[in-house]
Structure formats: structure tokens, C-alpha cells
Structure 1
Amino acid sequence: MEFTAIANEAQEVGGVAGWAVQLMERLGGIGAGVAIAAENLFPPIPSEIILPLAGFAAARGDITLVEAISWTTAGSVVGAVLLYLVGVLFGRDRLYRVAERVPLFSPDDLAKSEDWFHRHGSKAVLFGRMIPVVRSLVSVPAGLQRMPVLRFVALTALGSAMWNSLLVLAGYHLGGQWEAVSGWASRYQVVVFTAVGVAIAVWLFRRVRARST
């Protein structure tokens, strides 16, 4: 089968979907994996579009459902490992030097963050794969703290498989209405970003008040 129907749908949502369709058209399931790997490295590329499209492709028989889930999960792991390596190469010493120059931040704050990640890092990596933007960023502190690679890969693969399967299966069952998935995911993103924004605002308020007293 051809990807014509998918391409027609993708034209309505802009360039990212069109680009993902071209990759899947040329490379099949591998193309979906490449697109998701890029999404990990460049969070503005929305997995909430790519994954349902892969599900739609599976529903049409252009790729199998197993290929859609397997390749997108592999792409997630590849992207996450690259960011993990960024953390390893950047290093803790350099991070602490940067922390000393950041206004309203201190090495003590960083030490507390490291302690938190040391205690909860496995859960952060696993469940962080299901949270927009966090699924990319969480790989960096894992690299900074040198989380064992096999544990990191296993947790990333498991969390990614759960998230990817959810959106791929939604696109598979919705068929031509796959865009509804991105609508639901967008509302989820708004909730997450609002919660993060409120948390940052509260932290800044408390830090400025502590400095002024």
C-alpha cells in the first residue's frame, strides 16, 4: 500500500507531519523510529503527531503494528542515549561551575537536586518518558550522575514502550481521525506546562523573598 492517504491527512497539520510521512514512506517503520529519535533531541518536534501517524500507517497495512511500536521505542532509546552521553561529556564539575554563575541558584541547590535524583532517578527516568519535554531532559542528569547504562536503557525502553504504545494504538484504532490524539495530548501538555510554570514561579518567589530578608 501507499502512504497517499496519510500524506493527505498530514498536509493539514503542517510540515512536521509531512516530514514524518516522508520518512515512513521511504523507510517504513525505521522512518518512524528516526522521527522519534529526532523528537527526543529536539522537543519542539511533537511525538503526539508522529506516533498516531505511525499507528494510522499500521492500520492501513503500510507497516505492522509491531513495527510501529518497536521502531518508535528504539528511536526513543537512541535519542535518550545520545542525551545521556551529553550529560556524561558535560560532567559534574563543569555543571557546578555553571551553577555558581546562575542568579538565584547555588551549588547547594544543585547538590540537593543531585541527592534527589540519586534517590528517585530510576522512577524519574521511567515515568519521565511519559511527560512532554521532561522525557528529553531527564536523560541529561542521568548521564551527569553516571546512572548504570544498562539500567538507564532498560528504564527508558520500558517507559517509552508504554507511552509510544498508547499513542500508536490510539492512532491505529482512530484511523483517519488520528489527529484527535494530538488534540488530547496537547491538552495534557498544557496541564504539564502550567504545573511546571507554577512550580517555578513559587520557587522564584521563595528564593527572592529569602534573599531580601
Structure 2
Amino acid sequence: MRKALVFGVFGLVAGLLGAASPARAQADISLPYPALTIFFRTANLEPLSQSQFVLNLAAQSSVKQPQANVNLFDDFYLINGQWSGSPNNLIVHFNGNLQNLGQRVIPTWVGVAQFSNHAITYDLQAGFQQVKAKYGIPNAQAASVVVYRTLNTGLLVYDYRIPIAGGRCQEYLFTPENGGFQLGMQGGCYMSLAGVGRSRAGHR
């Protein structure tokens, strides 16, 4: 009797999980589940970007709070790659449910190459852990992370912005494909619709 009850409950739970999984995959992709890497890789961004490609894809905290775990980021931006033959680009602010929170046209975004978000495979949190180990900053928190593809190497770069003095951030660049590291520039910590367009696109 007890064994039958246990298996009955197990079967009910398994059935509910199995029924819920497809719905979650289709409708509920809000963070922190799934992880940021999965969200970036699997999200259908075309309706937001009006393009198959992006030039920048960024994540940060909606309350502008640096995090030790980038999977906690819940505020996102993209800069699109191709936009109906226009020389300009579009920056879009969106949330974990792929809801458009605002957008605007910006001048041509140069310095980085187009890429598909589906090409993002290496775990973003693992990359951050490697950056912290490489530079001896085990307690560092990231204000934001930006993914882009360089023009000169054609490789994806994970650009972690870590706060320093004066409300600015130091960029730490990690290239998953070859395990490369590089210090980037110092500058702003967060993306915004108003702020983008007056700074460089990415580290070349």
C-alpha cells in the first residue's frame, strides 16, 4: 500500500513536470530560470531586433545592482545587426519575457561584427569565474555583461563590467573559444536607451 502510494505520487509529479516543461520553454523564459546563457542562446530575438542578427547583447540588473552571479540579471538590451537596409541601427530594451520596454534608432554602430544569439554556447557565469581567477578578484561583482563579435578575429567576446571608483566600471574581456583575456576600457557600467550612441560599440 505504502509503495503504491509513493509510486503514485511520483508518477503524478513526473506527469506535471512533463506537462509543464513545453509550456515553460515556449512561454515563460523569465530569469533566473533558465540560466542567462540558455536564455541568450534560445530566445527568439527577431521580433525585437527586426533582424536575424545582433551587434551587442547585454544583461544587467533592473535595479542597477552589481551581482556575483550574472544569472541574476533581469534587464536586457540588444543592438540589431541588419535593419531593412537602413544605415542606422536599433537599440531595444527588453525583459526576461521578451517584452519590448522601449527602443530607438541610433547612428550606425561600428566596431563589432554581426552575430546570431544562437551562437552563444559557453556559460556566461563560468566565464565570469575565469575572469575573477585570472585577475585575482575573487569577490568581484559584475554590473553588466555585453556579448559581441570582434571584427578582427570573428570570435565572440564576453565583456564583464566591474565597478571601480567614481561610479565607473573596468571592462574585463573573455573570449570563450580560445580562452583569451584582455583588459578593456574604463567607462559606464550600465546600458540605457539614452546613453547608447555616444560611446564606442565594443572593443575591437
Query: Larger helix proportion, structure 1 or 2?
Result: 1
Larger RCO (alpha carbons 8 Å, 6+ apart): 1
What TM-score, normalized by structure 2, do the two folds share?
Answer: 0.27
- TM score, norm. by length of structure 1: 0.27
